[in-house]
Chain A
Amino acid sequence: MRVLNESLQEEKAPAPLEVSEVTKVYPGGVQALDGVSFRIAPGERACLLGPNGAGKTTLIRLLTGALRPSSGRVRLFGYGVEDADFLGAKRRVGIVPQSAGMYRDLSVDEYLQLVCELYGGGDLAEVVEAFGLKPYRERKMAELSGGMQRRLSMAAALVSSPEVLLLDEPTVGLDPVATRDVHGFLRKAMAGRTVLLCTHNLAEAEALCESAVILRQGRVLLHERIDTLRRRIQPVLMLRAVQGPERLAEVLAARGCESVREEDAVRVHVEDPEAQAPELLRGLLAEGIDVFECRLVMPSLEELFLDVVGAAHALA
C-alpha cells in the first residue's frame, strides 16, 4: 500500500522540466519554436540535439525564464516563469550557460558567494575543492583559462546541490584536454540528478545521457531513450575477407544480401545478428571466401541522429 501511495505521489508530482505546446516567435516574425512539447522525468538524463537553428538555445532560455513563450507553457517543477514561486523552482536547478563571459572585476570567491546568496545557501568550500578552484579563489574571473572558466560555471551550478542540471553546450570551444576534464566532472555531477544537456557533440551526448530530445526547425522530432532509438536502425556486420571486398561483395550479392563497400571491408545490414551471422559465415566459407573478420557494429548516436534528422538538415 505504501509503495502504491509513493508511486501515485510520484506520478502526481510535477516533472522537473516540462514544455507544453510552446511556440516562440521573436519580434520581426522569426519563429524559433513551433508547438514544442516534452517532459523530462525525475532522474532522467536527456540530451537536447538538433542542427543549427533548430531552436535549442531558445528552448534553454525559455527554461531558465530569460525568455517567455509566445504561447504554451514552460514549467520547472510545475511553475511557469509568470508564477510567483518560479524563483523557488529555479533554485532547485543548476544552470551552466553556453560560453558565458567572465567578470573582470569580480574574483572567483566573490562570484561564488553571490551565487550562494542567490540560491539561499550552498557549500562553497566543497565545490571549490571538488572543481580544483582553491588556488584561484582570489583571481579575477576573466583571468582564468577557458577550462577553468567552465569549471567555475559548473561549480556555480552545483554549489547549492540542485536536483536538476541544465547544461548548455558545456564543452563548446574547449580543447580536447579541457573537454575530457569537463566530462569527468559532469559524470560525477550528473549521477542521481535530472539533467538536460544541450550539445552539438553527439559522442558527448551518447556518453553522458540515456535519452535524447531531437529538435528540427523548431519542432520536436522525437524524445526517446537512446537504446530504443538504436533499435530503429538495423545493426551492421562488418566483414573482411582475404579475397578482398569486391569478391566478398559479389558473393554476398549472389546470396541475396545487400551490402555496402567501405575501403577494405563490406558492411551488411542484418535484422538479427545472432541468428543470421553464423549462417552467413558458414555460407561464405563454403563458397571459398576466407573471412578473417566479422564484427557487429551498433549504430552510433551520430548515425541515429542523421537517420532521424536527415543528413541534409543536420548539415544545415
Chain B
Amino acid sequence: MLSREVRILFGKEWRQLLRSRSAMLTALLLPVLMLVVVPGLQMVAASAGNPAAGANIPRGVMLPPGLEAMRDDPKAMLRALLPVFIALGGLIVPAVTASYTLISERESRTLELLVALPVRVGQILLAKLLALLALAGVVTLMLFSIDAGLILALELGSVGYVLALLAVLLSALTFSTASALLVSLLARDFRTSNNLNGMLIGPTIIACFALIIALPSPTLAALVIAALFTAGAGASIFVAMKVISFERLLR
C-alpha cells in the first residue's frame, strides 16, 4: 500500500525519532500526565467517595445539559471531563513531536538533502507524519488502555463510553498529525511552530469543553468531538496540499 520510498523514509524517521531525547521525553512525559496521572487520580478519588451523594448544587440553579447528571451522580463530572483529557493527550504528542522532525529538518536545511534523492516532497512528508503518528499512537494507546481498564474496573462508564473515548483519542491523533503538517508548512522555526500549536490547541480544547457542556451525554459529546476532529484533519490536509502547497517548505 505504501510506496517503497515512503517505507524507506519511514525507517529513517523512526530511527531519528527514537534517538531524539527531547522528542521522546515530550512523547512520553506529557501523555503520562494527561492520560494516566491526572485522570487516574481523579478516577480513584471519585470511586472512593460516597456513591449516593450527589454534588451540592442548590435547587433552582439551572445547569447546562452536559452537567445536569452531576446533581445525582458525583462521577458524572469525571465522565464529562475524561473526553477532554483524552483529547488533550492525543493532540499534544504529534503537535509537539512534529517540531523535532519537520521544523528541525527545515531549520537545519537537511530537507535539501532529501529532496535531492529520488523521492517526491509528498513522500518525505508522508513518511514523517506516519512516524509521528506511529510514535504517538503506540504511546497514547498503551496509556489509554490503563484508563480504559480503570473506567471499567471502577464502573465509571460503560464499554460504549470507553469506545467513544477511544474514538476521541484516535481522531485527536489524526487531527493533530494533519495540523502538524499545516504548522510545519507555515512555520519556519520552533518558536513560530510552538505559537501556532498554542493558537490551535487552546481554542480546540475550549471547544471540546463547550461541547461537553452543551450535549446531554458524555458519550454523545465524545462521538461529536471525534467526528469534528476527523473533519478538521481532512480540512487541514486539504489546506496544506491545495492552498499552501508543499513548495512552501523549500522557500
The interface of chain A, by Cβ under 8 A from chain B, is 26-27, 61, 64-68, 81, 86-87, 90-91, 93, 95-106, 110-111, 114-115, 117-119, 153, 156-157
Contact = CB atoms under 8 A, between A and B. Distances in A.
Interface in B216-251: 245, 247-248, 250-251
Contact of B5 (A87, A96, A100, A153): A87
| Dominant SS among interface residues on chain B | helix
A64 B109 contact: no
B108 A119 contact: no
Contact of B250 (A67, A86, A105): A67
Chain B interface residue number, banded: 20 to 34
- Among B9, B121, B248, which residue has the most Cβ atoms of chain A within 10 A? B121
A101 B120 contact: no
B47 interface: no
Contacts of A66: 115, 121, 247, 250
A64 B20 CA distance: 30
A102 B251 contact: no
A119 B110 contact: no
Interface of B: 5, 8-9, 12, 15-16, 19-20, 108-113, 115-121, 245, 247-248, 250-251
A119 B247 contact: no
Nearest to B116: A95
A61 to B, nearest CB: 6
Contacts of A97: 112-113, 115-116
B190 to A, nearest CB: 15
B118 A90 contact: yes
A104 B113 CA distance: 13
Given A101-B109, A103-B110, A105-B19, A115 B117 contact: yes
Contacts of A115: 117
Contact of A100 (B15, B109, B118): B109
Nearest to B249: A66
A105 B15 CA distance: 9
Contacts of B12: 106, 114
A67 B118 contact: no
B251 A87 contact: no
Contacts of B247: 26, 66-68
Contacts of B15: 110
